[in-house]
Amino acid sequence: MSDQDAVEIHKLLMLMGQEVAVVPVDPIVVMEDIYSLINEPSKGAFLMAVKGTQLIGVMGLENTRYRYSRETCIREVYLFVHPEHRNGDVLGALLNEARAIADMAEKELYVTIANHNRRRGKAAKVAELLRYQPFGSIYAFSRN
């Protein structure tokens, strides 16, 4: 991955932050995280969906240890498709490529679809359409 790829991923993730972040996004932290994933040996990778020369979707994958075991799995840490390209098959292509990588590595793949601004039930619909098995839920408890 080139430095320019990292810059383009950063731009898309900053757009993601505007849409889904629940706390302020620090652009420096995001860039550090991108470089950590791509530069630390066996740490992770980014899948990039490109149309022409424009990055339209990104999925960050991290090779991580289960908290209760020495075994590892692949966990999605970033997943975003540009709003102008959500009616196509970009999400499906990213998820299918991630699944292929996990299968090749003989690891479980965990993907979190969490966007407090989208309609409820969307994650279950996406999982069903892509033949993924929903696995638990994420609940945000308000501080009020």
pLDDT of residue 19: 87
pLDDT of residue 130: 60
Residue 29 lies in a domain: yes
- How many domains, in total, are found in the chain? 1
Residue 143 lies in a domain: no
pLDDT in tens, the chain (144 residues): 788 999 999 999 999 999 888 889 999 999 999 999 989 888 999 999 999 999 999 999 999 999 999 999 999 999 999 999 988 789 989 999 999 999 999 999 998 876 656 655 566 666 666 666 666 666 667 666
Burial code (b: 16+ CB inside 10 Å, e: under 16) for 45-80 equals bbbbbeeeeebbbbbbbbbeeeeeeeeebbbbbbbb
CA distances to 2, 71, 103 from 64, rounded to whole Å, are: 24, 8, 15
pLDDT of residue 137: 66
Residue 108 lies in a domain: yes
Residue 72 lies in a domain: yes
pLDDT of residue 140: 60
pLDDT of residue 83: 92
Q: Record the tokens describing residue 51, joined without a space.
A: 């149309």
- 103-106-108 Cα angle (round to 5): 80
For 63, the domain range is 3-129
- pTM above threshold 0.85: no
Residue 98 lies in a domain: yes
Q: What is the CATH number of the domain that holds 21?
A: 3.40.630.30
